[in-house]
Chains A and B, each alone.
Chain A
Amino acid sequence: MNDARPAGEAKQLEVHIERKAFAAASGGRLDVLRDIAFTLKRGEVAAFVGPSGCGKTTLLRIIADLDKDFEGNVRRADSISLAMVFQEPRLLPWRTVEQNVRLVAPDLSNQALASLLKELDLDAHRRHFPAELSLGLARRVSLARALAVKPDLLLLDEPFVSLDQALAARLRMQLSRLMRDLYLTTLLVSHDLEEVARLADRVFLLSPRPARIIAEIPLATPRDARSDREIVTMRTEVAKQIAEFAPPLIP
């Protein structure tokens, strides 16, 4: 919440993954990631775009320290607090919406919790259990949970997929504001170029599996200052680059 942005640009995250492979069930190894290297500064938002199954979730899991079996190293700033919006909501079915958020953020004031739930349009569902929520609602709760911990590093795995256009647009705006206010360092995985153009500072294009970074596209204008025209230009630019590197993969 504090706005003392260190001009020193401390590195929040340094990733050097040389190789990540899974043992395939049929024997042999399945290469998933190759030579992925980048760094993130505090407050920066990086978006990863790549074809389905290329290894985006695997990358996030390595960064979140859930998967240690890879060649290379990932350095996170000391005592960093982490939050992740998984590709599925992963709520605890036996806790209400409010209790799910509370579990990971016990120190959050009642007021802050209320305003966060309001922000994400969840206040009517505070006392509902996850089984009573639609998938879209559950995704929002998962997002609320991640934001509630005020993380130093936020990992988002396709957070707005399966929501309707209007709602996705509204949530995108709210998320963008929260990311700015909390000065969140964020890693966003997405297929939605509109989302990427509005939320990210830099875009990394990934190749099909094994994923490597085929292009890095900086989006120069500050996130808040982008006009709708610029967004369209950025989208086209990203789409063009995707087409250039991987012709058969554009939508």
Chain B
Amino acid sequence: MVRLVSLILFFAIWWLASLFAGPQMLPGPEKVMAVIIAQARTGELFFQVGVTLARVFVAFTLAMVGGTALGFLMGRSKLADSIGDPWLIVLLNLPALVIIVLAFIWGGLTEVAGVLAVAINKLPNTIVTVREGARSLDPRLDEMAKVYGLPRWKSLRHVILPQLAPYIAAAARSGLSLVWKIVLIVELLGRPNGVGFEIGTAFQLFDVTRILAYALAFVIVILAIETVVVQPIERRASRWRSKAA
């Protein structure tokens, strides 16, 4: 209910602002909506959003799987931590743009280079978060698993992963938004399609309505994923926490 009011307020402010700024600088919500519908009719919108989503999905998965494995390793092994830490600091401080440009120079203007550049941008953040989780694993539960001779995969699945789950979820949450922002830059710089490419074209034509149309459409898709996929998974995973806590 509060969310709905807040959403209506957002559109009201947008509409008012568009009256002051004029349709060139800031077209009103109704104009943007009209463009979204028109683009959806031709199928263009679905294609571009679909292409971008596919890149987001692949890059996100790569960064999450790689980052979880590396973060777990670094959290558990002192040696791995000492070896990996300098690399991590470099990666964390390297601007996204540098990684993208270098990836395109070394890998060519290819799909693989683009997606990898995005994944590498997200990777250090996942590593840091999961490493934190791996460091706070409860050694007493480890001992329990050991005494009862639980097979390695079983203790990984039932003892370790549930403890890491909140950290992985936090990384995934911030990851989804970070990854889609970077995918757009990659598309702008070196891909011939996708939402980022469309926005780049619209920028050259100074077509603000179209920029907003694509941005809004994609935000809606991401919001839908967040509420339909991410939140239910989180709820399910935290079922065991007592209600009061």
Interface residues of A, Cβ cutoff 8 Å to B: 61, 64-66, 81-84, 86, 88, 90, 92-95, 103-104, 129, 131-132, 145, 149
Which residues on B sit within 8 Å (CB–CB) of A103? Answer: 150, 154, 158
Separation in Å of the B169 CB from the closest CB of chain A? 13
The 5 closest A-B pairs by CB, nearest first: A131-B242, A104-B148, A94-B240, A129-B240, A94-B162
Question: How many Å lie between the Cα of A64 and that of B149 in the bound state?
Answer: 11
Cβ 8 A contact of B140, one of A65, A82, A90, A145:
A90
Q: Is the CB of B144 within 8 A of A90?
A: yes
| Residues in chain B near residue A132, CB distance under 8 A | 242
Contact between A82 and B147 (Cβ–Cβ < 8 Å)? Answer: yes
Which B41-63 residues have C-beta < 8 A from chain A?
none
Across the interface, A64 reaches (CB within 8 A) one of B141, B147, B240, B242, namely B147
Complex contact A95–B140 (CB within 8 A): no
Given contacts A94-B162, A129-B240, contact A66 B143 (CB under 8 A): yes
B241 interfacial contact with A, CB 8 Å: yes
Known interface pairs A86-B140, A88-B140; 17 further A-B residue pairs with C-beta atoms within 8 A, sorted by A's residue number: A66-B143, A66-B146, A66-B147, A81-B149, A82-B147, A84-B147, A86-B143, A90-B144, A93-B241, A94-B162, A94-B240, A95-B158, A103-B150, A129-B240, A129-B242, A131-B245, A145-B148
CA distance A98 to B17 in the complex (A): 59
Q: C-beta contact mask, B122-161 vs A, less than 8 Å → 1, else 0?
A: 0000000000000000001101101111100010001100
Interface of B is mostly: helix
With a cutoff of 8 Å between Cβ atoms, the chain B residues found around residue A83 in the complex are 147-148
Cα A95 to Cα B242 with chains together (Å) = 12
Cα-based distance from A132 to B239 in the complex (angstroms)? 12
B141 partner residues in chain A, CB cutoff 8 A? 90, 92
Instruction: State whether A93 touches B240 (Cβ < 8 A).
Output: yes
Minimal beta-carbon separation of B96 from chain A (angstroms): 36
- In this complex, the member of A92, A129, A145 whose beta carbon has the largest number of chain B beta carbons within 10 angstroms is A92
Q: Say which residue of B149, B158, B241, B242 sits within 8 Å of A92 (CB atoms).
A: B158
Chain A residue with minimal CB distance to B161? A94
Query: Could you say which residues of chain A place their CB within 8 Å of the CB of B144?
Result: 84, 86, 90
Q: Which residues of B contact A93 (CB under 8 A)?
A: 240-241
Q: CA of A193 to CA of B207 in the docked complex: distance in angstroms?
A: 86
Complex partner residue of A82 from B148, B154, B162, CB under 8 angstroms:
B148
Distance between Cα atoms of A117 and B149 in the complex (Å): 22
Q: Which residues of A contact B146 (CB under 8 A)?
A: 65-66
* 7 CB < 8 A contacts A-B: A64-B147, A84-B144, A92-B159, A92-B162, A94-B240, A104-B150, A131-B242
Nearest residue, chain A, Cβ from B165: A94
Contacts of B143 on A, CB cut-off 8 Å?
Answer: 61, 66, 86, 90
Nearest-neighbour CB distance to chain A for B48, whole angstroms, equals 41
Chain B nearest CB from A12 CB (Å) reads 16
Q: How far is the CA of A61 from the CA of B143 in the complex (A)?
A: 9
The residue in chain A whose Cβ has the minimal distance to the Cβ of B148 is A104
A94 and B149 alpha carbons, distance in the complex (Å): 20
Q: Which chain B residues in 99-119 approach chain A with CB under 8 Å?
A: none
A210 to chain B, nearest CB (A): 23
Interface core residue of B140, B147, B148 (most chain A CB under 10 Å) = B147
Chain A residues near B245 (CB, 8 Å)? Answer: 131
Q: Which residues of the other chain, A, contact B241 by a CB distance below 8 angstroms? A: 93, 131
